Structures are given as structure tokens and as C-alpha cells.
């Protein structure tokens, strides 16, 4: 009776054999490798898809922002310059308001300090703003030699006495005489030029897109280094400045019968893959 109990106790306390332990370790190792590979693969897919989504969102925002601003550009203010190695820039003047003038000092009349326009309370007019009448070429916008541009000193807001009929008198910074009258008596208001520049990163062949504003009007189009600090709009682009078929943008100038056209064609790269926009922006040429 006692020997039988001892055998049962010995049987119940016996551990795993070496073969059993090795088998369990192998099975657990296979499971860990399989699960870890699945987790790593899923994480890699998530990271790559997040990178692609970020570049897509950034590129769409940049192209849409450029499109909206170019469409509101002052007629004949768009101009493009480039360096075959480092940058390509488009410059224009975003129109903040436009209306009809009633009386302005226009050649051959004498110079004057004031002019009268029709304004609504919603028009974005402010002091120190610039005005243009009948700009036909980009030098009419950026160069005041032909007197197509003047700067506002003061004005009485529309809807307030004595301008209840929205006939507002503008006072200029200096005595002014515009070179030509507009056939439709149109006048445009804006504050400062804007530039979008595709620039090559010195440490790589990738390009970035930056937006510049807050600088002064220049007779010749300025370089990025002359415009101060820019705001980063997009990156991860790989266009070439030396290949005319691969430029990030081109300009088709306006004519007497056609509007100007800006062709945006930046190429983006992410995770070894590339995609390209081919977008045309029409810039109204009705001064």
C-alpha cells in the first residue's frame, strides 16, 4: 500500500522532458517571428501611407493656394524669372479690390492730388494702398515711370458724410497724373507684390516651394535672396531647371486676344515613387 502511494506521488511530480521544452520553445519562437513580422509589416504600411498622404495634402494645398492667388492677380502683373541652377520664381500683384473711377488726373490733363471713385463699404480699401489704371505690361505695374501707379494717402470711408452716394475722394501721396485712361474706367487696388519660388535645396537635388511677400516693388524681378524670409509651402519636388520640358512652371504671356496662362507642373517624390501635377491657371487680362 505504501509503495503504491509513493509511485503515484513520483508520477504526479515528474516535470517536462528536454524534448518537450525544446519543442515548446521552437513553437513560441515561430509564433513570435510571425507576429512580429506582421506587426512590422503593418507599421511599415502605416508609416509609408502616412508619408504619401502628407505629401499629397501638402502639394494639393500649395497648388490650390497658388491657383487662387494667381487668378486674382492684377492684369499684366505676372512675370517669371529663373536661374538654371537654383530657382524659378513667379511674381504677381494680388488684387484686393477693383471699381470704377469717376474722375482722375490723366494725361494730357494736369497733375493733381486727388481723384474720385465709386466704392462700397465691403471694398478692401486702406491707406498706403496702391492704385493702377490701365496697366498693359508688367513695367506698368512695377515701374512708376509711365505713371500707371499711385499710392493712396487718405480717403473718407464710403457711406459716411460727405460720401453717402459712395463717391469717395482719394488723396494721393504726391501730385499724380496717370499716363492713359481705361476704356471701361477701371481702377485696381493692391498693397504689395507676392512671389512663389521653386528653390533647390543645397544639400540635395530636391526642391522646395516658398512664398514671399512684404517686399517693395522693383523694376526688375527680384531673386529669392532679395525678398527676405519666405514661408515654406511644399517640399519633396524633383523638377529640373535645366530641362525646359521639366520646369515646375511656365508662363504663356497674354496677348490682345488671349489671357495669360501659368502652367504648373511640379513633380513630387515620396517613398521612391513620383507623381506630377499638370495644372493651368488663367490670369485675366482685362485692364
Residue 6 is predicted with a pLDDT of 52
The pLDDT of residue 266 is 93
* Top-confidence residue, 128 or 56: 128
Q: What is the pLDDT of residues 76-105, one digit of tens each?
A: 999 999 988 899 999 999 999 999 999 999
pLDDT at 1 over 80: no
CB neighbours (10 Å) of residue 90?
26
Q: How confident is the model at residue 185, as a pLDDT?
A: 94
- Averaged pLDDT of the chain: 85
Q: What is the pLDDT of residues 247-274, one digit of tens each?
A: 999 999 888 788 889 999 999 988 888 8
Q: How far is CA 263 from CA 77, 172, 209, 210, 246, in A?
A: 16, 37, 15, 17, 11
Q: Which of 18-22, 160-164, 206-210, 228-232 has the lowest mean pLDDT?
A: 160-164
The Cβ of residue 183 has, within 10 Å, a number of other Cβ atoms equal to 9
Question: What is the per-residue burial (b if ≥16 Cβ within 10 Å, else e) of 190-203?
Answer: beebbbbbbbbeee
Q: What is the rounded CA–CA span in Å between residue 142 and residue 3?
A: 113
List the grid coordinates of 271.
Answer: 517613398
Given a cut of 90, is residue 109 above it in pLDDT?
yes
Residue 32's pLDDT is what?
74
pLDDT number for residue 24:
73
Amino acid at each position: 500500500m505504501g509503495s503504491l502511494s509513493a509511485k503515484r506521488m513520483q508520477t504526479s511530480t515528474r516535470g517536462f522532458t528536454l524534448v518537450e521544452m525544446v519543442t515548446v520553445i521552437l513553437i513560441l519562437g515561430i509564433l513570435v517571428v510571425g507576429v512580429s513580422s506582421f506587426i512590422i509589416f503593418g507599421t511599415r504600411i502605416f508609416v509609408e501611407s502616412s508619408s504619401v498622404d502628407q505629401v499629397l495634402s501638402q502639394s494639393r494645398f500649395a497648388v490650390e493656394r497658388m491657383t487662387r492667388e494667381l487668378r486674382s492677380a492684377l492684369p499684366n502683373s505676372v512675370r517669371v524669372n529663373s536661374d538654371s541652377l537654383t530657382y524659378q520664381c513667379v511674381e504677381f500683384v494680388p488684387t484686393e479690390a477693383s471699381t470704377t473711377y469717376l474722375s482722375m488726373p490723366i494725361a494730357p490733363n494736369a497733375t493733381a492730388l486727388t481723384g474720385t471713385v465709386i466704392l462700397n463699404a465691403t471694398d478692401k480699401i486702406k491707406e498706403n494702398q496702391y492704385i493702377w489704371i490701365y496697366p498693359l505690361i508688367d513695367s506698368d505695374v512695377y515701374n512708376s515711370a509711365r505713371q500707371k501707379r499711385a499710392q493712396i494717402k487718405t480717403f473718407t470711408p464710403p457711406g459716411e458724410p460727405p460720401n453717402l452716394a459712395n463717391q469717395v475722394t482719394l488723396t494721393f501721396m504726391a501730385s499724380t497724373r496717370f499716363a492713359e485712361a481705361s476704356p471701361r474706367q477701371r481702377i485696381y487696388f493692391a498693397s504689395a507684390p507676392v512671389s512663389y519660388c521653386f528653390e533647390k535645396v543645397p544639400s540635395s537635388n530636391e526642391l522646395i516651394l516658398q512664398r514671399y511677400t512684404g517686399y517693395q516693388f522693383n523694376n526688375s524681378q527680384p531673386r529669392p535672396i532679395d525678398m527676405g524670409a519666405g514661408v515654406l509651402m511644399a517640399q519633396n519636388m524633383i523638377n529640373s531647371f535645366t530641362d525646359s520640358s521639366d520646369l515646375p512652371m511656365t508662363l504663356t504671356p497674354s496677348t490682345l486676344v488671349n489671357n495669360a496662362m501659368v502652367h504648373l507642373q511640379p513633380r513630387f517624390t515620396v517613398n521612391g515613387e513620383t507623381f506630377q501635377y499638370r495644372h493651368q491657371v488663367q490670369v485675366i487680362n482685362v485692364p
